[in-house]
Amino acid sequence: MKRKSANFGPAFRVNLRLARNVWPGQVERQQSIALRALSETYGVSVANGDLQLLNGRWYVTHSGLIRVSERKGCSGIRVHPIKEFCDRASGRWVFKAIVYKTTSSKGFVGYGDADPSNVSSLVRGAEMRIAETRAVNRALRKAYGIGLCSVEELGSPSSRIDPTNGKNPNLATGNSNGSINGAPKLRDRLCLLIRKFELNPVQVKRYAADFCGTEMLRDASRDLVESFITTLADEAAKDREGLICKLNSYGAEAVKS
């Protein structure tokens, strides 16, 4: 009996091809199977930035969740702070979000919190907006049965502490680009910045090595790399054109990773 060939939908094929280009060598069989299910069930698009692949796991983005809710005909979202749990002075915020799938639905509730200890240094000072986004994301994931954690719900890698000895396990192992409890690696965070601000990756790598005082970026300590990522994010957000001029001084020929 002749075996039928797999009939993959066009959305999945497009997503898979682009994912392999964006994350070379990271999209293996397990990630492909998950991507197919996400493509067919929710209609997510890698091209639109609906998904991110971090440490071999798919994460949905806030924009991806919003697009899913629009396609599903979401009636509305209500968000408000939980004042008794908020502290402006310490930068701690807690929000409650309610997603209404229809005008007659009771709503799906999600809570989100953020403070300097559980947000990335890249968004330090924006804890209120992060808390609101996390609340909306959780409510949307509940409403539409999306089991993936969202990127915005991930905490800061440097804030995770090993409860067995009180030490940061990533620093203890000496891995300058490792991850902790599923949080994004420094390399992934840097790649996200490069894509977000459309920077030249070769120039960024040269700039990073110069910033860290090493011949190659991989030889730099985790603290130095994290400091560089914070600096790069600040420069890109405040003056992208000025940053590009600075990066141009580092040339564009290939360098070792």
* 197-212 pLDDT, tens digit each: 888 888 888 888 888 7
Q: What is the pLDDT of residue 95?
A: 97
If you average pLDDT over residues 238-257, what whole number do you get? Answer: 71
Q: Which residues of 162-199 are buried (b: 16+ CB within 10 A; e: fewer)?
A: eeeeeebebbeeeebbbbbeebbbbbbbbbbbbeebeb
Domain residue spans in the chain? 9-58, 61-155, 176-248
- On the question of pLDDT at 179 being above 70, the answer is no
Task: Tell me 121's DSSP state.
Answer: G
The dihedral built from the CA positions of residue 108, 113, 118 and 119, taken in this order, carries a sign that is positive
Contacts 24+ apart (CB under 8 A), 202-211: 202/251, 202/252, 202/253, 202/254, 202/255, 203/247, 203/248, 203/250, 203/251, 203/252, 204/232, 204/247, 205/255, 205/257, 206/250, 206/251, 206/255, 207/232, 207/246, 207/247, 207/250, 208/232, 209/255, 210/250
Under a CB-based contact definition with an 8 Å cutoff, are residues 43 and 11 in contact? yes
Q: Output the average pLDDT for the chain.
A: 81
The pair of three-digit structure tokens given for residue 109, joined into one six-digit string: 């509730």
- On the question of pLDDT at 10 being above 90, the answer is no
The pair of three-digit structure tokens given for residue 225, joined into one six-digit string: 């790399």
The dihedral built from the CA positions of residue 117, 123, 128 and 129, taken in this order, carries a sign that is negative
The answer to pTM > 0.75 is: no
Q: Does CATH place domain 61-155 in 3.30.160.20?
A: yes
Q: What is the pLDDT of residue 165?
A: 38
- On the question of pLDDT at 22 being above 70, the answer is yes
* 81-110 pLDDT, tens digit each: 999 999 999 999 999 999 999 999 889 999
- On the question of pLDDT at 15 being above 60, the answer is yes
* 123-174 pLDDT, tens digit each: 778 899 999 999 999 999 999 999 899 988 887 554 433 333 333 333 333 3
- On the question of pLDDT at 257 being above 90, the answer is no
If you average pLDDT over residues 2-24, what whole number do you get? Answer: 76
C-alpha–C-alpha distance, residues 252 and 127, integer Å: 36
* Amino acid, res. 14: V
**63: phi then psi, degrees, rounded to nearest 5:** -65, -35
